[in-house]
Amino acid sequence: MRMMLALGAILSLACVSAGEAPSNYQTYHGGIRADSDPVVLATYERVLDRCEPEAYSWRRGSPNPNSTPYWLALRNCLYRHGFVDRGVYAYPTTAVLRHFLDR
């Protein structure tokens, strides 16, 4: 049982989306893609400039930009500022099952 719990925790952290491209994010209210509107894109860039230092800190994330704690901290900060991952593209496992989940 402990081994299954450990395996589940490792797999959940391994499947974190590692993209900060504006096309991967949408606004929380309205679902507007971050790269579809110049005003939303400018807001996304400001929020990203604010969230990256927080994700680089040891307190929230990691100084290694390729690490899981960095991406989790970055996604957490972006979510707090109103930007969320775009549905089925947020995790690789849901991208495989996207046709099943759309039903």
pLDDT value at position 46? 94
Q: Of 102, 101, 99, 56, whose CA–CA distance to 77 is shortest? A: 56
Residues with pLDDT less than 50, the chain = 16-18, 94, 102
pLDDT at 98: 53
Task: Report the pLDDT value the prediction gives residue 75, as an integer from 0 to 100.
Answer: 87
**pTM across the whole model:** 0.64
Q: Which residues pair with 84 in a beta bridge?
A: 26
The stretches of 37-82 forming alpha helices (DSSP H) are 38-56, 68-80
